[in-house]
């Protein structure tokens, strides 16, 4: 049998390299990026063809089935996966498996099944929506489908805040049906704009011109204060790209930003827009992925994993809120979508725009060094003025009265004017801990070095790290006393306190109140009506939202970030503070921001409160330059988890003992992690630091070989995090 009948297959297993398999006689050689079904141990796996490999055929297992005649992962995307696997020192097979939609990983055909639409049945066309007055969600769905007799896709219905349970209830009544229609090629679009562009100011026009004038790859930082109209710059920069028949990929940090972005883009452009995020079903995700690959989707909006979406005619890549830590994957394949977006644009030879009001210091330094085009938007769109941040000394605040009298008075005054106020606290639950007043006992998690948060509405104590839940004890487990109190405040307590004092509805938005599909959209729609209201929420409210009637923001308990042991803590705290402050006064009314702080004299708190992010960045960059920290140095973190701490530390110590000394690379540790115990396991870590990236990665190659070969590594869990954003 000829040598070229042996192929290398990348498999989704935590092992480096590819595996050789023999092709059955007469089987055509599949191209790189095609899928095959192969035996692996006692299992059968779906792998991706990597290439050909001369080998001894007698010892090789045979490929069971070739699933694709053509590449599912096209050559440019495959090359990106290889680069990412090398940089993050992650097995190529797992990276390729991560890129494929779930149904393709299961071996289903890589072809579109036809467009799914919800439409009215013959019976449903004769139903009066007034019959559903007691079921408003069903009434909304029925009314929309009456207005669209050809039906609506699930993505369209999601953008219109129609819930899946409402559609299912109407289907049970036999008033609507879900049908698969054959996909036809979209008709050529003569005019990409569905509505005219807004009038851009001078800074916006300069930014749009700079992006459109660039041919080929060029990275840009769109550095614009909150409310400066960055989205309008995106939209106008996209127009000529779409008119040329090309595609635009846009990344957003969280699912919550997707519906409003989707609506705005569909209003502006008469081209197919699709979304990719974890909230889709497996079938919806595959259909969107294939639509992008085949060029039917012209605008693709998605969260971090959408950076791996195949594109037929790429023209522009945009990363919105590019500073956001949600763009970094924190488990499994630990990549950063912001960096991969730049690599992808370079590979595809298209411009990439990183937009942010508070750029990551790494991106800001690249712009200052001239490696990124630096586009500044220094004033808000229209005549809106940036609100000043007023520092309030919060040392007098108590757990039962977390809001100062000045803050409560400002909220009441805002409601009297018929406007909206936002109270921001980045802490869910009713109280962060339950204490015994007699002996000092506190509600600690049995599986983590953390306390349990009191969720009063569910009558539960819950760990926000591992998910452990338990009932609130009637008496103190330590001394038997019934004198238990809650200490501190969360969004649930703020909601309760404000509901008693406020003359307007209180709308709470956090992960607890937005679990059900469509609940976030419903709450945002309530706010967008513009009626007087008090908004209470976590960082879900801080990113990208536009609330025209919101004129006051009250920010509570932001001190911890500025005092964090993690060197990124002050940067992330300042970004969050200024993002929250930017929700206020965005239209025709002046904004006001109150920040309650127990450390009003702290240098970094004062710099952040001054609203000048670049002055704060200067101070933080000076500190990092002296310490050799990013962006002036490079980090990698080897973490280990085991049932006992000595086992985790022992494995890391063995790695250090076997690791050669390389001048210019500092190996720090091993040491217990700041949170030593999490989810029932003890955690230790080893930090590698260098000012020379190639030297660091060369040593990481050696470290990974050592770690995989050590028997002690098989008795614990360990992973490597390159460019970590969380050292805690």
Q: How confident is the model at residue 101 (pLDDT cuts 50, 70, 90)?
A: very high
Asked whether residue 156 carries a pLDDT value surpassing 80, the answer given is no
Per-residue pLDDT of 646-698, as tens digits, reads 999 999 999 999 999 999 999 998 999 999 999 999 999 999 999 999 999 99
84: tokens are 């990412």
Nearest partner of 403 among 500, 517, 544, 521, judged by Cα: 500
The DSSP letter of residue 401 is B
Do the bridges between strand 43-52 and strand 6-10 make them parallel or antiparallel, or are there none, so unpaired? Answer: antiparallel
Q: What percent of the chain has pLDDT over 70?
A: 95
Q: What percent of the chain has pLDDT over 90?
A: 48
Task: Return the H-helix or E-strand segment holding 219.
Answer: strand 218-224
Q: How confident is the model at residue 3 (pLDDT cuts 50, 70, 90)?
A: very low
Q: What is the pLDDT of residue 1?
A: 41
Nearest partner of 574 among 554, 594, 533, 604, judged by Cα: 604
Q: Over the chain, what is the mean pLDDT?
A: 88
**Could you tell me which residues come within 8 angstroms of residue 353 by beta carbon, excluding any fewer than 6 positions away?**
211, 220, 222, 234, 237, 316, 317, 318, 319
**Could you tell me which residues come within 8 angstroms of residue 500 by beta carbon, excluding any fewer than 6 positions away?**
none
CB 402, CB 494: distance < 8 Å: yes
- The residue extents of the domains of the chain are 3-105, 115-125+133-181, 202-377, 389-430+489-622, 634-722
**CATH of the domain spanning 634-722:** 3.30.70.360
CA angle 572, 575, 580 (to 5 degrees): 125
Q: Considering the entire predicted model, what is its pTM?
A: 0.86
Higher pLDDT, 634 or 111: 634
Instruction: Name the burial class of residue 714, with classes exposed (0-12), middle (13-18) and buried (19+) by CB atoms within 10 angstroms of its CB.
Output: exposed
Asked whether residue 595 carries a pLDDT value surpassing 70, the answer given is yes
Q: What is the pLDDT of residue 633?
A: 95
Among 282-286, 635-639, 723-727, the range with the most confident prediction by mean pLDDT is: 635-639
The DSSP letter of residue 588 is S
Q: At what angle do helices 361-368 and 613-627 cross, to 10 degrees?
A: 90
Per-residue pLDDT of 190-249, as tens digits, reads 678 778 888 888 999 999 999 999 889 999 999 988 878 899 999 999 999 999 999 999
CB 32, CB 51: distance < 8 Å: yes
Q: What is the pLDDT of residue 724?
A: 95
**Could you tell me which residues come within 8 angstroms of residue 12 by beta carbon, excluding any fewer than 6 positions away?**
45, 46, 47, 93, 94, 96, 97, 105
CB 421, CB 415: distance < 8 Å: yes
CB 277, CB 154: distance < 8 Å: no
Topology of domain 3-105 in CATH is: GIY-YIG endonuclease (3.40.1440)
How far apart CA 307 and CA 300 sit, in angstroms, is: 10
User: In the CATH hierarchy, which top-level class contains the domain 389-430+489-622?
Assistant: alpha beta
The DSSP letter of residue 94 is H
Among 156-170, 173-187, 480-494, 525-539, which is the least confidently predicted range? 173-187
- Please, which contacts does 58-63 make with residues 24 or more away whose CB atoms are closer than 8 Å? 60/6, 60/20, 60/21, 60/22, 61/21, 61/22, 62/21, 62/22, 62/23, 62/24, 63/7, 63/9, 63/21, 63/22, 63/23, 63/24, 63/27, 63/36, 63/37, 63/38
3-state SS record for 259-321 = HHHHHHHHHHECCCEEEECCCCCHHHHHHHHHHHHCCCCCEEEECHHHHHCCCCCEEEEEECC
Q: What is the pLDDT of residue 9?
A: 95
How far apart CA 597 and CA 222 sit, in angstroms, is: 31
How far apart CA 159 and CA 156 sit, in angstroms, is: 5
**Alpha-carbon distances, residue 515 vs 230, 260, 637 (angstroms):** 29, 18, 33
Average pLDDT on 420-448 reads: 90
Q: Give residue 538's Cα distance to chain centre.
A: 15
Higher pLDDT, 336 or 120: 336
Q: Tell me the residue ranges of DSSP E strands in 447-570.
A: 453-455, 460-462, 469-470, 484-487, 506-509, 533-537, 550-555
Helix locations, 324-440, DSSP H: 337-348, 361-368, 405-416
CB 622, CB 570: distance < 8 Å: no
Per-residue pLDDT of 265-308, as tens digits, reads 888 998 988 988 877 888 889 989 999 999 999 999 999 999 99
Q: What is the pLDDT of residue 694?
A: 95
CA angle 456, 462, 465 (to 5 degrees): 145
Task: Return the H-helix or E-strand segment holding 437.
Answer: none
Among 79-88, 167-176, 178-187, 501-510, the range with the most confident prediction by mean pLDDT is: 79-88
Q: What is the pLDDT of residue 525?
A: 75
How far apart CA 568 and CA 623 sit, in angstroms, is: 11
Q: What is the pLDDT of residue 587?
A: 65
Do the bridges between strand 420-424 and strand 550-555 make them parallel or antiparallel, or are there none, so unpaired? Answer: parallel
Instruction: Name the burial class of residue 30, with classes exposed (0-12), middle (13-18) and buried (19+) by CB atoms within 10 angstroms of its CB.
Output: buried
Asked whether residue 708 carries a pLDDT value surpassing 80, the answer given is yes
Q: What is the pLDDT of residue 693?
A: 95
Topology of domain 202-377 in CATH is: Rossmann fold (3.40.50)
Q: What is the pLDDT of residue 246?
A: 95
Among 126-140, 609-623, 695-709, which is the least confidently predicted range? 126-140
CB 379, CB 203: distance < 8 Å: yes
Question: Residue 670: is the preceding peptide bond cis (ω within 30°)?
Answer: yes
Higher pLDDT, 316 or 279: 316
| Same-fold call for 389-430+489-622 versus 634-722 | no
Q: What is the pLDDT of residue 537?
A: 86
Do the bridges between strand 681-690 and strand 634-642 make them parallel or antiparallel, or are there none, so unpaired? Answer: antiparallel
Asked whether residue 541 carries a pLDDT value surpassing 80, the answer given is no
- With b for 16 or more beta-carbon neighbours within 10 A and e for fewer, the 203-234 pattern comes to bbeebbebbbeeeebbbbbbbbbbbbbbbbbb
Per-residue pLDDT of 359-415, as tens digits, reads 999 999 999 999 999 999 988 776 667 788 889 988 888 877 889 999 999 999 989
């Amino acid at each position: 049998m000829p040598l070229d009948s042996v192929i290398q297959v990348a498999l989704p297993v935590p092992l480096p390299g590819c595996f050789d398999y023999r092709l059955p006689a007469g089987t055509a050689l599949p191209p790189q990026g095609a899928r095959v079904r192969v035996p692996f141990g006692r299992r059968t796996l779906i792998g991706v063809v990597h290439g050909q490999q001369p080998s001894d055929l007698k010892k090789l297992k045979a490929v069971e089935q070739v699933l694709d005649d053509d590449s599912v992962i096209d050559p440019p995307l495959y090359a990106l996966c290889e680069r990412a696997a090398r940089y993050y020192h992650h097995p190529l097979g797992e990276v390729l498996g991560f890129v494929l939609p779930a149904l393709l990983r299961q071996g289903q055909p890589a072809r579109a099944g036809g467009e799914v639409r919800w439409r009215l049945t013959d019976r449903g066309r004769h139903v009066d929506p007034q019959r559903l007055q007691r079921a408003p969600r069903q009434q909304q769905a029925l009314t929309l489908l009456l207005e669209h007799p050809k039906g609506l896709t699930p993505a369209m219905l999601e953008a219109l805040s129609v819930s899946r349970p409402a559609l299912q209830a109407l289907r049970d009544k036999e008033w609507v049906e879900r049908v698969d229609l054959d996909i036809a090629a979209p008709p050529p679009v003569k005019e990409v704009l569905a509505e005219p562009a807004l009038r851009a100011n001078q800074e916006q026009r300069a930014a749009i011109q700079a992006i459109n004038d660039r041919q080929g790859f060029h990275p840009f930082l769109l550095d614009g204060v909150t409310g400066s109209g960055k989205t309008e710059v995106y939209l106008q920069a996209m127009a000529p790209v779409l008119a040329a028949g090309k595609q635009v990929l846009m990344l957003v940090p969280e699912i919550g930003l997707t519906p409003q972005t989707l609506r705005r883009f569909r209003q502006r452009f008469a081209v197919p827009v699709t979304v990719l995020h974890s909230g889709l079903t497996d079938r919806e995700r595959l259909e969107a992925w294939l639509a992008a690959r085949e060029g039917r989707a012209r605008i693709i909006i998605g969260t971090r994993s959408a950076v791996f979406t195949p594109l037929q005619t790429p023209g522009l890549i945009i990363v919105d809120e590019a500073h956001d830590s949600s763009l970094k994957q924190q488990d499994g394949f630990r990549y950063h979508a912001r960096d991969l977006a730049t690599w992808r644009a370079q590979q595809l030879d298209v411009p990439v725009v990183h937009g942010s009001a508070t750029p990551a210091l790494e991106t800001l330094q690249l712009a200052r060094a001239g490696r990124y085009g630096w586009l500044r938007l220094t004033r808000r769109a229209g005549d809106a003025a940036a609100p000043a941040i007023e520092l309030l000394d919060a040392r007098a605040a108590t757990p039962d009265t977390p809001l100062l009298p000045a803050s409560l008075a400002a909220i009441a005054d805002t409601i009297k004017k018929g406007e909206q106020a936002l109270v921001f606290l980045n802490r869910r639950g009713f109280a962060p801990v339950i204490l015994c007043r007699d002996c000092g006992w506190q509600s600690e998690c049995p599986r983590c070095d953390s306390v349990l948060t009191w969720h009063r509405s569910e009558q539960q104590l819950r760990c926000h790290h591992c998910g452990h839940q338990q009932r609130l004890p009637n008496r103190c487990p330590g001394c038997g006393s019934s004198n238990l109190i809650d200490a501190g405040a969360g969004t649930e307590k703020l909601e309760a306190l404000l509901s008693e004092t406020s003359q307007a509805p209180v709308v709470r938005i956090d992960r607890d109140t937005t679990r059900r599909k469509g609940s976030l959209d419903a709450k945002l729609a309530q706010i967008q009506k513009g009626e007087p209201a008090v908004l209470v929420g976590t960082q879900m409210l801080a990113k990208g939202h536009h609330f025209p009637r919101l004129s006051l923001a009250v920010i509570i308990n932001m001190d911890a970030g500025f005092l964090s042991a993690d060197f990124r803590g002050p940067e992330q705290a300042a970004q969050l503070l200024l993002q929250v402050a930017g929700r206020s006064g965005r239209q025709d009314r002046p904004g006001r921001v109150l920040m309650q702080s127990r450390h009003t004299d702290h240098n970094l708190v004062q710099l952040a409160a001054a609203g000048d992010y670049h002055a704060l960045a200067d101070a933080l960059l000076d500190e990092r330059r002296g310490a050799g920290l990013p962006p002036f140095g490079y980090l990698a973190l080897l973490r280990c988890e085991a049932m006992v701490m000595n086992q985790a530390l022992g494995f890391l110590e063995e790695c250090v003992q076997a690791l050669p000394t390389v001048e210019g690379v500092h190996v720090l540790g091993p040491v217990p992690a700041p949170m030593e115990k999490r989810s029932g396991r003890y955690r230790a870590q080893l930090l590698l630091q260098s000012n020379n990236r190639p030297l660091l990665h060369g040593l990481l190659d050696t470290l990974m070989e050592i770690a995989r070969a050590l028997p002690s590594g098989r008795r614990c869990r360990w992973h490597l995090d390159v460019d970590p954003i969380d050292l805690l």
